[in-house]
Amino acid sequence: MLTFLVQLVRVLARHDECSLRYPPDPVLLSHDHHLVSLNIPRRTVAPLTSRSCFTDCAAATALAYEKPEADVLLRKPRNTKTDRLVDFKLIGYAYGVTGLIETLCSFTMSFWYLQKNGIPFSAMWLSYGNLPDWIDPDYYAQKINEASCIYFVNLVVMQWFNLMAVRTRRWSVIQHPPLFNKHTQNWLLFPAVLFALAMVFLWCYIPPLQVVIITAEIPVEHFFIPMGFGMALLLIDETRKYLIRKYPAGFLARIAW
């Protein structure tokens, strides 16, 4: 099984080197720009691709088993000719709010780790690989691999909280709890979270895969710090939903997906 996974990842890495396009994900696109501007090896995007292909798919499958919101029968029927399931409101929120917050937080953790290890952001900003002489190239490459994995883990952890946020469009997670309420519960969300965590260990903690996709182990605190970011993301969405419920004719309600 492990041999098969190694061969599969080698194929994915080869495809990436041949400039195949991945599905448009705001986090992936932002990270790809980061790789180009800072001259980070593009093969480090493979863990993010695996996150999108595996962890997000598991979570999306779990969301398919969500119970309807309590007010679903009070809403007007959808006009199939004008109302789209995926519209500019949804895309704007996913790319302009959630994706932006997750990307900025992940960048922050990545560069903060490099700063702590003697590689300041000023030495990389628009350097395109032309680093100062006092930075050892081998040391730089190792820390870049670790920072990229921190970026990856930060995204995965924040997505756990985003998973709870996107279960409903207007109702709070307290009003629509994922457990202990037979009308709203969806226990499949939690195996999806565990599956995402298993993917992190698969890509970042198995030596043969580390060599193939250029990953590395990361300090344990970087599994817990993103939980603070994720909780903030969930609270932002809870505030948005509260204002939509309180002011159904307000600006936030008009632009809500």
- Where in the sequence is the domain holding 168, given as residue range(s)? 2-255
Question: What's 14's domain CATH number?
Answer: 1.20.1110.10
CA 81 to centroid of chain Cα atoms: 32
pLDDT of residue 129: 66
**pLDDT tens, position by position, 150-172:** 988 998 999 999 989 888 888 88
CA distance 32 to 21: 11
pLDDT of residue 74: 63
Say what the pLDDT of residue 67 is: 82
**Token pair 């195996």 is at which residue?**
191
Helix residue spans in 87-224 (DSSP H): 88-93, 99-116, 121-124, 137-165, 189-204, 207-213
Question: Highest mean pLDDT: which of 13-27, 31-45, 112-126?
Answer: 112-126
* Highest-confidence segment of 33-42, 134-143, 152-161: 152-161
Helix (H, G, I), strand (E, B) or coil at 72: helix
Give the number of other Cβ atoms within 10 Å of residue 202's Cβ.
17
According to the model, what pLDDT value does residue 34 have?
A: 45
Q: Is the predicted pLDDT of residue 229 greater than 90, yes or no? A: yes
Instruction: Write the pLDDT tens digit of every residue in 39-81.
Output: 444 444 555 555 566 777 788 888 888 888 766 656 777 777 7
Collapsing DSSP to helix, strand or coil, 211 comes out as helix
- The reported pLDDT for the residue numbered 222 is 92
Structurally, the chain folds into a number of domains equal to 1
Tell me the Ramachandran region of residue 118: left when phi exceeds 0, alpha when psi lies from -120 to 50, beta otherwise: left
pLDDT at 161: 93
